Structure 1
Amino acid sequence: MTQDFDAIIVGAGQAGPSLAARLTAAGMKTALVERKLFGGTCVNTGCMPTKTLVASAYAAHLARRGADFGIVPAGPVTIDMKRVKARADTVSTKARTNVETWLRGMDGLTVIEGHARFEGPDTLRVGDTLLTAPRIFLNVGGRASVPDMPGVGTVDFLTNTSILQLDAVPRHLVVVGGSYIGLEFAQMHRRFGAEVTVVEKGPRLIGREDEDVSDAIRDILAAEGIAVRTDATCIGFKPHADGVAVDVDCTSGEPTVVGSHVLLAVGRRPNTDDLGLDAAGVKRDARGYIEVDDSLATNVPGIWALGDCNGRGAFTHTAYNDYEIVAANLLDGASRRVSARIPGYALYIDPPLGRVGMTEAEARRSGRNLLVSKRPMTRVGRAIEKDETKGFMKIVADQDTKRILGAAILGTGGDEAIHGILDMMNAGADYPTLQWAVPIHPTVSELIPTMLGDLRPVGREG
């Protein structure tokens, strides 16, 4: 059987449903194919369940600190991990159900459950059915990468997906990978009561960040009793009577760490290896990401790739912006480009890191004349009042153009406060414009104009 459409969307992640709404509203007969869970990574195994767990971990942490605020606890803080898990499951299930209900009730949209594979540049097969359309949009997401490390096939391990199924606190969680996903789970489970060790092959945590950010985050985690093992030059795994023995071979410390559970958090890979892309002639890069141009079009006319599968962003908000770009160009006569997007993201440990634009190291390498300002959270009134003074704020600007190049806010409310800077960068405003704003007191954001007034020249790299 063959069904003809004006457009086909593969994947019901962050970009797919909203794109379906725009296409059907424009009068296009549209099909959306989903092989597993509606809502994609964010709803099911990413942002929503993990940030729900982070919130539970924060509540436990704050409860233990009650005496610091003059609150006398009724007894020791205990963790009902089954209840913690149920809460996260409920948040995900409600969101997933809402997405599916919206799609199934959308006029002009046909929802098809199954695995789609190309049989030509305008044809997909789902089971026994062929679907054809002149416009095909791939929103197939990604999954955890499991590198072929020594012994990995001989032990049980967790990924960011399977760890969500734990309904008991691990005795000792070993997190392999010292980047964003790994660190969030590390702190979360430490606050639930687990012993936690983070193993990172590189010389420092979250290596893409500036060294002062990496060092501060390591200090924050260490202060909570998390062991961090960097320079793990030869990571390997062996079964052990107490769980899994992880070889780390670090420059200092014991060469092996034994954990009851091991989380592999060493990157992501796109879900592009079973789409039949070769049959359509769609190019992928060496890592498997679908190659797209600045408008998110592939090398095959009529096929676009959005979200995690295109290698142009690894976040829910960038996937949604991919939808906005494609919809604006296709339906509104615009000429939006991915290259115009200012990168911004957050790391959801506590306190969180909000980041936008260039790091200081990237700015130094660019050869610009730079201005930098940095302020510890110990000098931020809002942080002092909350007794959450770990971290710092930093802004980097171009001395000649007076444009903000980037910023990092590692501290309480940093994931929200960073948007004041992100918005000014998107507006193309120079930093004196923001410097003379009158922010609300007491907030974290109120220190941004003060920091801009304290910008000082720094030397270039090299």
Structure 2
Amino acid sequence: MARPATYDSIIVGSGQAGTPLASACAKAGRTVLLIERTHIGGCCINEGCTPTKTMVASGRAAYLARRGADYGVHIPGGEDGQIRIDMLKVRSRKREIVKSFGEGSERRVKAAGVDVWMGEAAFVDGKTLRVRMHDGSEKTVTSEQIFLNVGERPAPPLLEGLEEVAADRILDSTSIQELDVVPAHLVVLGGGYVGVEFAQLFRRLGAEVTIVQRGKQLLPREDQEIADALLEILKEDGVSVILEGTTTRVTSKSPDSFTLTVENSNTEHSPELEIEGSHMLFAAGRIPNTESLNLSAAGIKTNAKGYIITDEYLETSNPGVWALGDVKGPPAFTHISYDDFRIVQRNLLEHKHPGSKSLKKASIKTRQLPYVVYTDPQLGHIGLHEAEARTAYPDAKIMTATMPMSYVARALETDETRGMMKAVVDGDTGMILGFTCLGIEGGEVMAVVQTAMLGNLRFEVLQEAIWAHPSLAESLNNLWGFLE
């Protein structure tokens, strides 16, 4: 057997942490191997953020076309909602943008001097990997420094009778993006972030849409009033929502339709419902891509769900092996994965440079967690939700401020008044603990408040600031007047 190749650093998985890390290690003078089994760039640019938000833009264009008359703009066929959707164009536009992002990522890592192997890696021992290449051959490689950025994927669908349904009618968050027609009736199983984004998107593209959610509210992590406001927005857009619903079985007597049986305890509906649908999106869970890595051979510990356990510096139970991104468990956001790269880069690369001794070792413990749900309007959030704040600071004077977007001049001028803002404040110190904006450009408004939180500014600084008029940011003059 040939001796294994040796590299200074090996990165398994080319997601939003692995790809820049590979380039950074190479630029630091290390020999670097990047192993990828599917496509360069990982989930974000291939199946996640980039393609879905590209499609969301198409959905918003359809929404505005139908609303043209509200602004005094009359589009032939648009006023009665009968605009024409070209799904092949929607899909081809998405594919073109994904292709350009992917090619750019591959170009950058190769230009940095990184070797790239396309294949599936598995541990032989703590420092050695066997790689089954795409051409069927096998290679062995070893390193004292291995980084795992292999991500996660949609959980496989589980439902009685599913085998009766035509395979092309059973969708996940990846396959739904490859549809070449608008579904007649899309049934979305799961009312989390993925579920609500796709539900609104396909409703805007012309599908009848029903969301079936197990819990008592959509987006279970959000404060109740925010979830309720989003529910009303989706209903206004024509999305049907069943809360406290449990799917029990599905039957199908034709290739293009099925009947889904739902039991529910919500008094809005009868105890058992039957929903006729054409396509079914499973949007209720994801699982880590760890089963093929043979982690036990390397002594790498995982939790009960298969996610890799790390310390606050992202090192696993095997010294010299780090896990980055979604594979270490929630929160599963691209920007968290990229921040994992930043942490590892600082701790392993920057500390090696002359004059860098003053740099504090980076940790995941103290970082903030912003995120945006790309419904329309967007839901941007930073920091603690109200219940989290009351739990974290039981002795503090927790105050909240809520304000509807209809109080925001810029929202009124653009006729985009749906949604609300909510802030959570420590009343004793004036520090902002959390903020949510469900409103037009909610993610951008959230980022303004996040900047204040990063600077440890009291809420009064935002309240008394001079903001340009008319802008969405000037709503931060008025929000704090609702604190109670």
What corresponds to 2:356 in structure 1? none
Does the 8 Å CA contact 1:244/1:262 hold for their aligned counterparts?
A: no
Which residue of 194, 203, 224 corresponds with 1:181? 194
What corresponds to 1:152 in structure 2? 162
What corresponds to 1:129 in structure 2? 139
Does the 8 Å CA contact 2:45/2:98 hold for their aligned counterparts?
A: yes
Q: How does 1:114-263 map to 2 (within 5 A)?
A: 114-127=119-132, 128-155=138-165, 156=167, 157-241=170-254, 242-251=256-265, 252-253=269-270, 255-263=273-281
Structure 2 length-normalised TM: 0.92
Which residue of 264, 268, 271 corresponds with 2:289? 271
Deviations 1:315-367 (A, max 9, x none): 00000000001101111224111111111111111001001111112223332
Equivalent residue pairs, number:
455
What corresponds to 1:338 in structure 2? 364
Paired residue secondary structure (2:461): helix
Paired residue secondary structure (1:449): helix
CA gap of 1:5–1:404, structure 2 versus 1, over 3 A, is same
Does the 8 Å CA contact 2:157/2:282 hold for their aligned counterparts?
A: no
**Residue 61 of structure 2 is aligned to residue 59 of structure 1:** yes
Structure 1 position 154, deviation (Å): 3.9
Which residue of 8, 14, 17 corresponds with 1:15? 17
What corresponds to 1:354 in structure 2? 380
Structure 1 position 282, deviation (Å): 0.3
Structure 1 position 147, deviation (Å): 5.0
Q: In 1, Cα distance between the equivalents of 2:326 and 2:163? A: 26
Deviations 1:179-221 (A, max 9, x none): 1101111000001100000001111111111110111111001
Letter in 1 for 2:198: F
What corresponds to 1:459 in structure 2? none
Does the 8 Å CA contact 1:7/1:135 hold for their aligned counterparts?
A: yes
Q: In 2, Cα distance between the equivalents of 1:436 and 1:131? A: 59
Which residue of 104, 107, 121 corresponds with 2:110? 104
CA gap of 1:153–1:344, structure 2 versus 1, over 3 A, is farther
Letter in 1 for 2:430: K
Structure 1 position 101, deviation (Å): 1.5
Paired residue secondary structure (1:233): strand
**Residue 417 of structure 2 is aligned to residue 389 of structure 1:** yes
Paired residue secondary structure (1:324): helix
Letter in 2 for 1:102: R
Structure 1 length-normalised TM: 0.96
Q: In 2, Cα distance between the equivalents of 1:321 and 1:399? A: 31
Structure 1 position 234, deviation (Å): 4.2
Structure 1 position 449, deviation (Å): 3.1
Q: In 2, Cα distance between the equivalents of 1:149 and 1:48? A: 30
Q: In 2, Cα distance between the equivalents of 1:190 and 1:161? A: 18
Letter in 2 for 1:290: I
Structure 2's unaligned 5+ residue stretches are: 133-137, 352-359
Does the 8 Å CA contact 1:10/1:116 hold for their aligned counterparts?
A: yes
Q: In 1, Cα distance between the equivalents of 2:73 and 2:365? A: 50
Deviations 1:395-449 (A, max 9, x none): 1111122211101100001011100111121222222233332222212111113
Q: In 2, Cα distance between the equivalents of 1:245 and 1:363? A: 43
Q: In 1, Cα distance between the equivalents of 2:330 and 2:144? A: 24
Structure 1 position 82, deviation (Å): 0.5
Which residue of 299, 303, 323 corresponds with 1:285? 303
Letter in 2 for 1:53: M
Structure 1 position 246, deviation (Å): 1.6
Q: In 2, Cα distance between the equivalents of 1:455 and 1:438? A: 20
